[in-house]
Structure 1
């Protein structure tokens, strides 16, 4: 069963308990939080109440006279008075218990819940939340329940529980994020990113794990981070690396290998900071960085432009300003429309 299916079943388990009057005060609070997450959740809750109401109406119409039936049985056995009282009491308790759990079972089946039965009734289901950044949108700061702060690059999704467990703070990321984790030695912070897992106690670092991307990358800014490969392949290769500031861990999705190296990219956080540093790098690399930072498209019209070496530093400057400086530096022409720019050699250049 997938993680999201498990979350869905746990939420429906809360519905089942509430509908049959089995929910605790804490579970009622968790149900309220789940209902607030989306219109779909509230619609499912209303539909469930309607289904249970129909079941109850059907039972009321079709039920038979249990007292009359019991008198029939009693007349045949004619036990002693004491025995009758004891047996009747057990019968009534048995019928009450039977219908109680029969109702729970019917509701659970109607809702598609396969994980609920009496043996699990003391488990506390986790209520999960998602934070999603849209296309060309950067979420600069989101505070998690433990006080840790996360920034999300565009097209990214962070999944986390409303309340972290006592022994671990565990989240999942699809896309790119920068984490500033609040220190807590007794409660490690764990990030699931593709086929890797990142463990920390308190530090700041970036994780890039877009679906379909060739690699998962972790770059440490402060503290110490452990990156673990969850793949069962390539067991002869390293399955974990420890990173300190300035180091990068790279997991290659195709061959399932994990490597540690020195981070050579000063702009790995430019999507968040808009602080760009170029130390005589090819113009093609400059363009790649600008596209990621500003969510624009930049074309170099001639292949020769890719090899031009550029050096410069831009802090909190808009894309138009940066591109205009590059244009002037190499005496190029710049054409721009709807966040799509083209750099080309001057046609009248002698």
Structure 2
């Protein structure tokens, strides 16, 4: 009996197509695992059974209705034992971690939740493990309604702050379109927007590892920042201005000797406008801090006074800066 044989037998059973050979395979599994060790605690096992049994019962009933009386007799006789099989597959070491995880995902998939911050707001949420997340304007996050197995993984688009709840042996992984950031318990910021030229990871507390595909880009300690250029693939590690990096979590957006190209990108995202400019202008540097209460006109005036650019509005959604 191989893991593949058992998985295929469960699939056939749940579709109402189990054979006598499949049922004998289940019996063999029960004999093998009857005295198995390394099981889940009784309370955890009971919770899993309570969640799985109604689901398997419903599946069995559907299969019976589709396949007729003969299938009904077979399913009514064995479906509870198949439920026990599924719980056993998850709980024991005999099948191995990988197979248990894959089979449980098939039988009892984890629901994914999605949350997004609007263009003019930040949004805070608490994950199932008590990790605190603050999404910057326009950012979105997708995460499971409960974390399974030995890791906590989610996906992020845009910029977010994380205060990760420490859980020994359960690393916390933030996957963006470019990099994966892994921690055990810390607070950090990730910025990887779809239109951004680079990725930044800044660490406030703890330790963070940043990977791209299978390559480790760096290990960051408090006060450090990793910058990755998406165009060249070059990663740079430097000291972080944490007050500057985290300003948006206090409803501020701050710049320090920042190229106007990046400033314009922030303005466009925040106010949903289009900025037309020239390449020479975008290389100029700007230093300043604005609150979410500052109007677009206030910000444009500050840019004119501090950098010498000329701003001209074209309609309601287009701005020409020379």
Q: TM-score, normalization: structure 2? A: 0.59
| Equivalent position of 1:26 in the other structure | 48
Q: Name the residue aligned to 2:128.
A: 145
Q: Are the counterparts in 1 of residues 190 and 199 from structure 2 also a CA contact under 8 Å?
A: yes
Could you report, residue by residue, the CA deviation over 1:17-62 in whole angstroms, capped at 9, with x for unpaired residues?
9xxxxx9653443699xx9xxxxxxxxx99x688435336x326x9
Pick from 316, 323, 332: which aligns with 2:310? 332
Distance 1:304 1:59 in 2: 78
| Aligned equivalents of 2:234, 2:279: Cα separation in 1 | 34
Stretches of structure 2 that go unaligned for 5 or more consecutive residues are 1-6, 16-44, 92-99
Q: Does 1:54 align with 2:97?
A: no
Larger Rg: 1
Structure 2 partner of 1:204: 187
Counterpart for residue 296 of structure 1: 272
Q: 2:237 aligns with which of 244, 260, 276?
A: 260
**Which one of the candidate residues 204, 223, 239 is aligned to 2:206?**
223
How far did 1:158 drift?
Answer: 2.2
Establish whether residue 159 from structure 1 lines up as the match of residue 143 from structure 2.
yes
Q: Within the alignment, does 1:313 sit opposite 2:282 as a pair?
A: no
Q: Distance in 2 between matches of 1:254 and 1:344?
A: 26
Aligned counterparts of 2:112 and 2:76: Cα–Cα separation in 1: 36
CA drift of 1:146 comes to: 1.8
TM norm structure 1: 0.56
**Aligned pairs, how many?**
265
Q: Secondary structure at the match of 2:219?
A: strand
- Provide the rounded CA distance (Å) in 2 between the counterparts of 1:256 and 1:331: 32
Shift, 1:287, TM fit? 1.5
Distance 2:242 2:147 in 1: 35
User: Corresponding residue for 2:89?
Assistant: 120
8 Å CA contact retained: 2:122, 2:251:
no
Once structures 1 and 2 are overlaid, which stretch shifts more, 258-267 or 320-329?
Answer: 258-267
Q: What do the CA deviations read for 1:156-195 (whole angstroms, capped 9, x no partner)?
A: 2322351454x54333434432211123445442333446
